[in-house]
Amino acid sequence: MSKAENKSPYQIAQEQFDLAAEFMGLEDDLRCILRVPKRELTVNFPVRMDDGSVQAFTGYRVQHNVTRGPGKGGIRYHQNVSLDEVRALAMWMTWKCAVVNIPFGGAKGGVVVDPTKLSLRELENLTRRFATEISPLIGQDGDIPAPDVNTNAQIMAWLMDTISMHTGHLESAITTGKPLGLGGSLGRSDATGRGVSFCVAQAAKFLNMDLKDAPTVVQGFGNVGSVSARMLHDLGCRIIAVGDVYGSIYNPKGIDPHALVQHMKKTRTVMDYPDCEPVPNEDLLEIKCDVLVPAALEEQITAENAPRIRPKILAEGANGPTTPEADKILFENNVFVIPDILCNAGGVTVSYFEWVQDLQSFFWDESEINHRLKLVMDSSFQAVNERAQAHKIPLRLAANILAIERVAEATRLRGIYP
- What's the rounded Cα separation, in Å, for the pair 141 and 119? 33
Is the distance from CB of 339 to CB of 345 less than 8 angstroms? no
Is the distance from CB of 301 to CB of 337 less than 8 angstroms? no
Buried b (16+ CB within 10 A) or exposed e, 96-134: bbbbbebebbbbbbbbbbebeebeeebbbbbbbbbbbbb
Q: In what order do the strands lie in the sheet with 71-78?
A: 39-48, 54-65, 105-112, 71-78, 143-147
Q: Could you confirm whether 108 is annotated as catalytic?
A: yes
User: What are φ and ψ of residue 112, in 5° steps?
Assistant: -80, 100
| Secondary structure (DSSP) of 37-50 | -SEEEEEEEEEE-T
72, 108, 253, 392: the active-site residue: 108
Q: Which residue type does 196 have?
A: V
- What's the rounded Cα separation, in Å, for the pair 53 and 49? 5
Instruction: State the number of CA atoms in the 13 A half-sphere of 77 facing the CB.
Output: 20
109: nearest Cα among 128, 129, 131: 131
User: What are φ and ψ of residue 147, in 5° steps?
Assistant: -70, 155
User: What are φ and ψ of residue 167, in 5° steps?
Assistant: -85, -20
User: What are φ and ψ of residue 339, in 5° steps?
Assistant: -70, 155
Cis peptide leading into residue 418 (ω within 30°): yes
Please give the positions annotated as active site.
Answer: 108
